[in-house]
Structure 1
Amino acid sequence: MRLWKILPVVVLYGLLPARSARAQLIETAYPSDVPGFDTGQGVSVTSRIQTDTAWHEIPLGAELLHPEVTESIGHDSAILAGRQPSWIVETAPSVTLNAKDTGYSVTAEASADDIRYLDGPGISDTDWTAAVGGTFDLADCAVTAAVAHLALHENDTALDAAQYDEPLSYAVNTLRLSAQTPASRLTIQPSFDLSQYEFGSATIGGVAASQAYRDRVVAEAGLTVSYGIKEYDDPNRALLSIEPDAGHYPNQTLGEPARDYAGGTVMLGVEHDLDGVWGWRIQAGAGGRVYRSSYENQFVPLMDAAVTWQPNERTTWHAALFRQIESAADEGEGDYVATIGGVAMDRELRRDLILHLGADLDRADFTGASETFITGRVGLQWLISPVLRARATLTLTDHQSSTATPFGEDVFMLSMTAGL
């Protein structure tokens, strides 16, 4: 493929525009700084930015306010409406409010992402999100509660997306609850997630196509048990995760089978807390879904693995691979299996200059069909001051499909972020 002729493959993780060419799983859309949605990836070169270049925050009594705005200009070689190239202007403001005291912490965040395609103004759109989450102590347990509303758009460069004439609007409302027992050799973490999805109408090949049949309510319960293999403070811990789930589709198309399902996952593995050099988590197991109607029931092997390696104080390597069941967009397909993997490196060239390189593989397996995206990125972030940052990113993606014509998409962006 052309991609391998251009690279070594490269990535700038977390600094890319929201509509960059990668798998648009909903997990990537939640605000990563809000408790209940944060990813907890641990220490890295980018998470321990030096004090003299760290973001400032505005004190409001005991609270801290952090507004910022990112302005970007770039070029996409394959936007919607015929895969034509277009220049892009993107504006992404956000504001975060943090409140902490003994026994609790709360974070609220609101953000927007407005993207204008200069050569395709009819497909320009604006996403926005709002979320609030907090942690507090209850009977010696750490309890987390979070809610979020996301107003987003799906384009045809996402996994399992149709060839839309313009981005498809959809909204997600989510409630998350979890608790964790006090630190000991044995810890238990129950959780509960409830999500509602609402989809708008799309136009495909000039024909209006309602996507309301994709509306759904999904409930997920969970129980994670962690056990120190040798003793209480052993960095090596055994893991057991059990997550039953169920989905209800209230707006099925007349004549189509109901898509309601019940299922879940069971994963067993081990993790090693980051010790300054290594940190890793490996879980493997199986998941399945059983449908009310004639869709083919799912039962597949699953995994969740992540590794962090810090060979020195200026370099961090990350690698991850996970496999999970996702709800399919096509009415004739119940669900599909998503396999997402990647490797990336953060390198502090100077204390104010960070290079990030890496590659991603995103694959969707349907009944008798598949899609595969191979993405490489390179980016450079300049920490100019505590109130100003600049970055440049280049993303190269090959889109391969067993049912559609393959195509490539190249995105280059220059961005400036100002914040207080």
Structure 2
Amino acid sequence: MRVALKSGVVLGALTAVVAGPVFAQSATGSLRSAQDQSADLFARDRSVAVRERSRPEYEALGTRAGTFMVYPKIEWSAEGNDNVFAVATGEDNDVIFRVRPDVSLESTWSRHALAAFARASIDRYQDFDTEDSETWSAGASARLDVVRGAAINFGADYASLIEPRTSSNTPGFAAEPVQYDITQAFLAAGRTLGRVRLSGRGDVRTFDYSDVRSVTNTVIDQDDRDREIRSLTGRVDVALSPATALFVQVTGNDRDYDVASTPVFAARDSSGYEALAGVNFELGAVARGELAAGYISQAYDDARFKDISGFGARAQVEWFPTELTTFTATGSRTIEDAGIAGSNGYLSSSIGVRVDHELLRNLILTASANRSVDAYEGIDREDTRLDAGISGTWLVNRNFGVNLAASRFEQESSGVRGGPDFTVNRLIVSLVTQF
């Protein structure tokens, strides 16, 4: 049975939720009001993560524009990459110079809130100019305080991006990176009634991929990847104590592709759901997090594609051994769309860990590692990926910062339709200027 998630239904259903105290969070940043942040039974704020800690003496002052604050920033970086095309043999190395301008705007109103951003990335390769790119994105999000303790959060953004060469979906024989656009919007709302919190969120996302040239100068059609994804999430939290809450969360989705099925081509149109149950907790000032497990399923319209279903999970746990160190562990098991011919989707299982340490007030060290396994449906292929890295951020003053990062990305692919096994090592040094 197909899940009906038309945009108007999503917006109307979520607006109707707002009849009392509200908890919601936007995709482009938190816009929770001060009274919401002091919610008694659902606040998880006894500790502050290293990356979230306020450092007033190193934060940009911004520029006032009426009742708004404007924060401009530019990041200048150079990257050394030893496998630009992410291939198994015959690796090519290059140096990439990158400029990333960024500007954000935040309101200073006592009620309601508005935030907006615009950012870009201009990449130039020293040897392989076919990889040169310009990407950009812009968006806004808002909070309307309907009455005291009640609000509606909503937002939208647009991005013109480049698919990285390490992506399993990008054609291996493409002569240039695949360019694509994402347009998305969301509406979120909630209500707290004593020990019970009800919340909901609706999202609409569209993906538009551009055709790309092959190494033999033919056109690789990417239209079969263009799609719109609509999702609606409902959640119920029940507080057992000020530090523990149980919850149930259900998300339904429709994934509609622009290219329809034909006798020789099977479209990937589908509908599915994710049903999870879990716990949200805080153990004093030592740890906090959320663990959830359940069932995920995606049913495809074209009978030539087999449905995908199984165990689903999402998790994030933060541990604070000291005020200067934060350990973060994450995990998930989800169903993702495939961009490889013959496959409708894949089960993606991932687990990761990150450690942030404040060596000095203005010197932050980070180490991270993430391992994922993608098991494809419809073709014999399984990808195992490992992404690990270390970095150091030096906040020189409120206007300048320096970042040094090293990372290693490995892919091992098995099966008859397996992709390449490759390794990519990167070294990046960046200078950030902000005002």
Task: Supply the distance in 1 between the matched residues of 2:193 and 2:392 (Cα, whole angstroms).
Answer: 39
* 3-state SS, counterpart of residue 224 of structure 2: helix
Task: Supply the distance in 2 between the matched residues of 1:363 and 1:401 (Cα, whole angstroms).
Answer: 10
Partner of 1:215: 226
Within the alignment, does 1:410 sit opposite 2:425 as a pair? yes
Partner of 2:316: 306
**Which of 234, 238, 244 does residue 227 from structure 1 map onto?**
238
* 3-state SS, counterpart of residue 101 of structure 1: coil
Residue by residue over 1:78-134, the C-alpha shift from the partner in whole angstroms, topping out at 9 and shown as x without a partner, is 112864110110111110000142331111000001111111111111110011001
Aligned positions of 1:284-295 closer than 5 A: 284-293=293-302, 294-295=304-305
Is the CA contact 2:86–2:165 (under 8 Å) kept in the aligned structure 1? no
Partner of 1:266: 275
Is the CA contact 2:170–2:178 (under 8 Å) kept in the aligned structure 1? no
Partner of 1:33: 29
Within the alignment, does 1:394 sit opposite 2:410 as a pair? no
Report the AA paired with residue 365 of structure 1: A
Within the alignment, does 1:45 sit opposite 2:50 as a pair? yes
Residue by residue over 1:340-379, the C-alpha shift from the partner in whole angstroms, topping out at 9 and shown as x without a partner, is 2211111111101110012111221103311121122111
Partner of 2:254: 246
Is the CA contact 1:362–1:373 (under 8 Å) kept in the aligned structure 2? yes
Partner of 2:365: 355
Aligned positions of 1:6-405 closer than 5 A: 32-33=28-29, 43-80=48-85, 83-138=91-146, 140-163=149-172, 164-182=174-192, 184-206=194-216, 207-230=218-241, 234-252=242-260, 254=262, 255-273=264-282, 275-293=284-302, 294-367=304-377, 368-402=380-414, 403-405=418-420
- Cα 1:410–1:183 change in 2 (3 A) is farther
Is the CA contact 1:159–1:363 (under 8 Å) kept in the aligned structure 2? no
Task: Supply the distance in 1 between the matched residues of 2:161 and 2:233 (Cα, whole angstroms).
Answer: 27
- Cα 1:256–1:287 change in 2 (3 A) is same
Identity of aligned residues (%): 21
- Cα 1:275–1:162 change in 2 (3 A) is farther
- Cα 1:384–1:325 change in 2 (3 A) is same
- Cα 1:75–1:274 change in 2 (3 A) is farther
TM-score where L is the length of structure 2: 0.84
* 3-state SS, counterpart of residue 46 of structure 1: helix
Partner of 1:15: none
Report the AA paired with residue 77 of structure 2: S
Greater displacement, 74-83 / 358-367: 74-83
TM-score where L is the length of structure 1: 0.87
Is the CA contact 1:34–1:108 (under 8 Å) kept in the aligned structure 2? no
Task: Supply the distance in 2 between the matched residues of 1:393 and 1:364 (Cα, whole angstroms).
Answer: 27
Aligned residues: 385
Report the AA paired with residue 296 of structure 1: K
Report the AA paired with residue 380 of structure 1: G
Is the CA contact 2:296–2:309 (under 8 Å) kept in the aligned structure 1? yes
Unaligned 5+ segments in structure 2 are 1-25, 33-42
* 3-state SS, counterpart of residue 213 of structure 1: helix
Greater displacement, 143-152 / 256-265: 256-265
Task: Supply the distance in 2 between the matched residues of 1:114 and 1:98 (Cα, whole angstroms).
Answer: 25
- Cα 1:253–1:211 change in 2 (3 A) is farther
Report the AA paired with residue 366 of structure 1: Y
Is the CA contact 1:35–1:145 (under 8 Å) kept in the aligned structure 2? no
Task: Supply the distance in 2 between the matched residues of 1:316 and 1:55 (Cα, whole angstroms).
Answer: 24
* 3-state SS, counterpart of residue 352 of structure 2: strand
Task: Supply the distance in 2 between the matched residues of 1:148 and 1:209 (Cα, whole angstroms).
Answer: 28
Task: Supply the distance in 2 between the matched residues of 1:278 and 1:97 (Cα, whole angstroms).
Answer: 33
Greater displacement, 364-373 / 346-355: 364-373
Is the CA contact 1:34–1:109 (under 8 Å) kept in the aligned structure 2? no
Report the AA paired with residue 381 of structure 1: T
- Cα 1:32–1:159 change in 2 (3 A) is farther
Query: Runs of at least 4 residues of structure 1 off by over 6 A?
Result: none
Residue by residue over 1:12-56, the C-alpha shift from the partner in whole angstroms, topping out at 9 and shown as x without a partner, is xxxxxxxxxxxxxxxxxx9753659xxx99731121142211222
- Cα 1:324–1:256 change in 2 (3 A) is same
* 3-state SS, counterpart of residue 386 of structure 1: coil
Task: Supply the distance in 2 between the matched residues of 1:305 and 1:81 (Cα, whole angstroms).
Answer: 30
* 3-state SS, counterpart of residue 80 of structure 1: coil
* 3-state SS, counterpart of residue 122 of structure 1: helix
